[in-house]
């Protein structure tokens, strides 16, 4: 279907609300088959919508790549992909050793044979199909929300399986585009052989570390290059030495001139999840429980890892990816908590919802009233369950010992026979391995005590227990050989003191987690009605309203401008940063570490004007814009009005972390690495003239 036809369907059909006549075009991550060309052109786009997305011909969309959950784009006809440094960070850490530390020093392959395999599969959108009718088939007669939700899931599964059989070379996924009413089937080319081509030194790629993460002004070169390979027949294939670089259907043209303040820009990418239409109770729960509990749990783990790996580079490299991702979420959640408090979003949503309830009562809409009341009541139950539930989540996530003890307890609980099943035990215990025993002990004590407290101190205190056991020096769950020996000896598990200590706690926690799962299904099944109610209520108010689609990890477009902002009273931030700013920060705190050798490479005389902001005459590093992005947009290409690459998106400002719940022109800003800095680092730090040549870039 051509774009024009899709637009017609959109205006005539269910999805009109995605294209409101609002004058706030910067909010919204639009599915590519529902772009509003008029609005885009009015905003500044110089292309036709067909140039961006056209299922019948090659368009910009064909240059977009989902890079293991981040976004990237092809920038050469030899499968070269640009994405973020933080998207390959964990893989680069794994490729590094204290002697050959690519994470610290950076990496550049001088030719194809030097490129290093990374476990980051890439997906390229090949075709799509609206399957809403088929997914919703037979649902008219079903009124029970739980049965409806289950039928939808069953339909999705069978449609996807059938399509996958018909297209074995592609990866088929069905995504819910609008809760309970719109479903799209996507077919992706799945490229498994991906290799690292270039990563900047850590002190460039992550300059500013956790201190600057989620902040503007920003001075890091958060970009990297990988290359996709296919089999000699041109088809996707697992890694093999015989593989050849993939030829994409389209690659982006780089515009080395960059942008200036006020320029129109747009981003295409794979934003993860947003929650713009959630209930007041959901938001209140996020503020009171979900965000602070996860944030504090992650903070403890980060500090513990740092304490127990201090001074040991090999261990630090082993935990580098974990720490980076924990810190990223921990700070993001702090931003969201601050944002929720500052914007009073919960109170606002509650007022809106009360007005909807009132409206339902006036119209005698009992079903509407019940939907809101049911949602509120589920979240109220969860308030009481939250301490145990979140600790249980953390126990399973953060500690190998506790996760294993829990799996054993659940197995035994299922039936004593399954506990005698050697194969089942082997699955749980066979690959048991602890990376750092002291760290593990620390986490086990902390988590067990927290769970004991959450349960009103019904269990034994873990630290006293473990101290006593370790003094006795008995064999225990902190030794891999002991744990592996249990595979054939379930009776020893039953007698293990730590197993006995944790078993009742694990069973009680699992009970809560199961109730939580049932509540989740119920909540999911109520969401279509709730969203519909909000939509109808907004429509009943008339006037200008906007009902933007939530992100769901499918390809989207967002647009806006390179734009300054004022995050706090009395502060105005210019939308570009420069190398001068980086040098001013350099070595003033640990996160601003800049070794002399890297600084020397960055500090060049007679730099061509191309790299400089014409307004300040300084070498540009970062840029800021008011586009609507979220996690998953990491690595997304930032494009100018002509669709040329002018930067790589990598972050949002602290005040914009809340835009997963609500977007606002005042505080929502995203952050990118300017293309001029990408080229500067390639030229002077990586000395990658061969890459610049591949990109067709001439630097005078
Ligand atoms: N830096 C971000 C991330 O890690 C990108 C974003 O969420 O805006 O996911």
Q: Is 651 in the pocket of ligand 1 (CB under 6 A)?
A: yes
Give the per-residue pLDDT at 476. 87
CA 668 – CA 336 distance, rounded (Å): 12
Q: Among 133-147, 403-417, 604-618, 657-671, whose mean pLDDT is lowest?
A: 133-147
Q: How many CB atoms lie within 10 A of CB 273?
A: 12
Q: What are phi and psi of 224, to 5 degrees?
A: -155, 170
Q: Return the pLDDT at 484.
A: 87
Other Cβ atoms less than 10 A from the Cβ of 161: the count is 11
Determine contact, residues 52/42, Cβ cutoff 8 Å: no
Complete DSSP assignment for 288-303: IIIHHHHHHHHHHHHH
Q: Which residues contact 379 (CB under 8 A, 6 or more apart)?
A: 279, 281, 282, 284, 285
* Rounded Cα distance, 449 and 173, in Å: 42
Query: Which strand (E) or helix (H) includes residue 652?
Result: strand 645-652
Determine whether the shortest distance from the Cβ of 630 to ligand 1 is under 6 A. yes
C-alpha distances out from residue 648 to 406, 503, 672, Å: 42, 49, 5
Nearest CA to ligand 1 atom 4: 631
Cis peptide before 97 (omega within 30 of 0): no
Q: What is the pLDDT of residue 10?
A: 34
Which residue's CA is minimally distant from atom 9 of ligand 1? 631
**Of the candidates 658, 672, 683, the residue with the CA atom closest to the CA atom of residue 336:** 658
pLDDT of residue 513: 98
Q: Estimate the crossing angle of helix 497-541 against helix 437-454, to 10 degrees.
A: 60
Sign of CA dihedral 97, 100, 103, 107: negative
For ligand 1, mutation pick of 631, 648, 653 (most atoms within 8 Å of CB): 631
pLDDT at 305 over 80: yes
Q: What is the overall mean pLDDT for the chain?
A: 92
CA 691 to chain CA centroid, nearest Å: 29
As a whole number of angstroms, the distance between CA 481 and CA 433 comes to 9
Pocket test for ligand 1, best of 218, 274, 633, 667 (most atoms within 8 A of CB): 633
Least Cα distance to 54 among 63, 62, 65 occurs for 62
Record the pTM: 0.92
Q: 16-55, pLDDT tens digit by residue?
A: 333 333 445 568 899 988 788 999 999 999 999 999 999 8
Which protein residue has the closest C-alpha to ligand 1 atom 6?
Answer: 631
594 Cα to the center of ligand 1, angstroms:
24
Return the closest-CA partner of residue 78 out of 239, 228, 192, 234.
Answer: 228
DSSP string, 331-364: HHHHHHHHHHHHHTHHHHHHHHHHHHHHHHHHTT
In 3D space, the residue among 552, 541, 644, 665 whose CA is nearest the CA of residue 256 turns out to be 644
pLDDT band with cut points at 50, 70 and 90 for residue 145: confident
Quote the CA–CA distance of 523 and 185 in Å, as a whole number.
24
pLDDT by residue (tens digit) across 48-76? 999 999 989 999 999 999 999 999 999 99
* Cβ atoms of residues 324 and 90 within 8 Å: yes
Report whether 585 contacts 208 (CB < 8 A).
yes
DSSP state letter for 681: I
Please tell me the distance from the alpha carbon of residue 640 to that of residue 43, in angstroms, as a whole number: 12
CB atoms within 10 A of CB 233: 7
**What is the DSSP code (8-state) at residue 596?**
H
> Which position has the higher pLDDT, 257 or 465?
257
Centre of ligand 1 to C-alpha 249, Å, is 28
Q: Is 654 in the pocket of ligand 1 (CB under 6 A)?
A: no
pLDDT of residue 628: 95
The answer, yes or no, to whether residue 8 has pLDDT greater than 60, is: no
Q: Which residues pair with 649 in a beta bridge?
A: 672
Compute the distance from residue 653 Cα to the ligand 1 centre, in Å.
10
CA 219 remoteness from chain centre? 22
Q: Is the pLDDT of residue 415 over 90?
A: no
The CB of 653 under 6 Å from ligand 1? The reply is: no
**Distances 75 to 72, 82, 91 between C-alpha atoms, Å:** 9, 7, 21
Q: State how far Cα 39 lies from the chain centre.
A: 28
Q: Report the separation in Å between the CA atom of 533 and the middle of ligand 1, taken as the mean of its atom positions.
A: 31
Q: Confidence class of residue 544 from pLDDT cuts 50, 70 and 90?
A: low
Mutate to test the pocket of ligand 1, among 553, 651, 668 (most ligand atoms within 8 A of CB): 651
Give the rounded percent of residues in the chain with a pLDDT score beyond 90: 81
> Is residue 619 within 8 Å of 612, Cβ to Cβ?
yes
pLDDT digits (tens, 9 = 90+) for 363-386: 999 999 999 999 999 999 999 999
Which one, of 167, 176, 199, 10, lies nearest residue 100 by Cα?
Answer: 199
Reported as a single tens digit per residue, the pLDDT across 161-212 is: 999 999 999 999 999 988 888 899 999 999 999 999 999 999 999 999 999 9
pLDDT at position 140 is 84
Residue 409 sits at φ, ψ, to 5 deg, of: -60, -40
**Alpha-carbon Rg for the chain in angstroms:** 27
- By C-alpha distance, which of 454, 307, 280, 325 is closest to 384? 454
């Amino acid at each position: 279907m051509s774009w024009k036809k899709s637009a017609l369907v959109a205006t005539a059909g269910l999805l009109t609300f995605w294209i409101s006549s609002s004058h706030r075009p910067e909010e919204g991550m639009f599915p590519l088959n529902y772009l509003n060309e008029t609005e885009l052109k009015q905003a500044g786009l110089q292309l036709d919508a067909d140039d961006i997305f056209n299922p019948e011909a090659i368009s910009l969309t064909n240059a977009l790549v989902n890079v293991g959950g981040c976004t990237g784009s092809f920038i050469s006809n030899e499968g070269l992909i640009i994405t973020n440094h933080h998207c390959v960070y964990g893989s680069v850490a794994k490729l590094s050793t204290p002697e050959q530390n690519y994470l610290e020093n950076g990496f550049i392959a001088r030719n194809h044979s030097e490129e290093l395999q990374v476990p980051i599969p890439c997906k390229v959108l090949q075709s799509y199909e609206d399957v809403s009718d088929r997914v919703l088939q037979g649902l008219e007669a079903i009124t029970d929300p739980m049965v409806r939700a289950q039928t939808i899931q069953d339909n999705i599964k069978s449609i996807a399986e059938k399509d996958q059989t018909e297209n074995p070379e592609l990866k088929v996924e069905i995504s819910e585009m609008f809760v309970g009413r719109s479903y799209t089937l996507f077919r992706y080319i799945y490229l498994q052989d991906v290799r690292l081509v270039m990563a900047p030194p850590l002190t460039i790629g992550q300059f500013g570390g956790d201190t600057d993460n989620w902040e503007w002004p920003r001075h890091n070169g958060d970009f990297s290059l990988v290359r996709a390979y296919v089999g000699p027949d041109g088809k996707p294939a697992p890694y093999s030495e015989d593989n050849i670089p993939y030829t994409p259907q389209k690659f982006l043209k780089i515009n080395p001139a960059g942008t200036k303040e006020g320029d129109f820009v747009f981003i295409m990418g794979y934003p993860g999840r947003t929650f713009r239409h959630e209930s007041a109770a959901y938001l209140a729960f996020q503020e009171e429980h979900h965000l602070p509990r996860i944030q504090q749990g992650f903070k403890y783990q980060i500090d513990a890892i740092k304490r127990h790996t201090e001074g040991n580079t090999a261990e630090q490299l082993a935990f580098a990816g974990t720490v980076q991702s924990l810190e990223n979420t921990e700070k993001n959640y702090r931003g969201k908590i601050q944002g929720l408090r500052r914007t009073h979003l919960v109170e606002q949503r509650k007022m809106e919802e009360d007005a909807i309830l009132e409206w339902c009562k006036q119209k005698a809409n009992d079903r509407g009233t019940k939907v809101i009341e049911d949602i509120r009541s589920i979240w109220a139950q969860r308030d009481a369950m939250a301490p145990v539930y979140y600790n249980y989540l953390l126990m399973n996530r953060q500690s190998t010992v506790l996760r294993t003890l829990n799996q054993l307890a659940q197995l035994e609980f299922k039936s004593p026979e399954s506990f005698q099943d050697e194969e089942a035990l082997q699955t749980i215990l066979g690959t048991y391995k602890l990376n750092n025993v002291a760290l593990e002990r620390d986490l086990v004590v902390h988590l067990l005590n927290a769970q004991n407290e959450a349960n009103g101190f019904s269990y034994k205190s873990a630290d006293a227990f473990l101290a006593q056991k370790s003094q006795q020096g008995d064999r225990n769950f902190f030794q891999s050989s002991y744990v592996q020996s249990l595979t054939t000896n379930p009776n020893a598990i039953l007698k293990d003191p730590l197993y006995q200590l944790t078993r009742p706690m694990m069973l009680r926690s699992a009970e809560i987690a199961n109730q939580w799962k049932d509540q989740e299904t119920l909540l999911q099944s109520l969401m279509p009605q709730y969203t519909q109610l909000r939509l109808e209520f907004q429509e009943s108010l008339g006037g200008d309203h906007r009902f933007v689609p939530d992100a769901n990890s499918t390809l989207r477009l967002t647009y806006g401008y390179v734009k300054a902002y004022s995050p706090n009273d009395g502060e105005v931030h210019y939308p570009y940063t420069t190398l001068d700013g980086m040098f001013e920060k350099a070595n003033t705190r640990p996160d601003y570490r800049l070794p002399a050798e890297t600084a020397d490479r960055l500090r060049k005389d007679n730099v061509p004007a191309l790299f400089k902001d014409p307004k300040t005459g300084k070498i540009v590093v970062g840029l800021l814009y008011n586009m609507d992005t979220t996690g998953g947009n990491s690595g997304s290409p930032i494009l100018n009005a002509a669709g040329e690459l002018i930067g790589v998106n990598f972050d949002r400002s602290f005040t914009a972390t809340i835009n997963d719940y609500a977007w606002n022109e005042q505080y929502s800003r995203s952050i990118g690495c300017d293309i001029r800095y990408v080229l500067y680092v390639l030229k002077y730090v990586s000395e990658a003239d061969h890459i610049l040549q591949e990109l067709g870039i001439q630097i005078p």
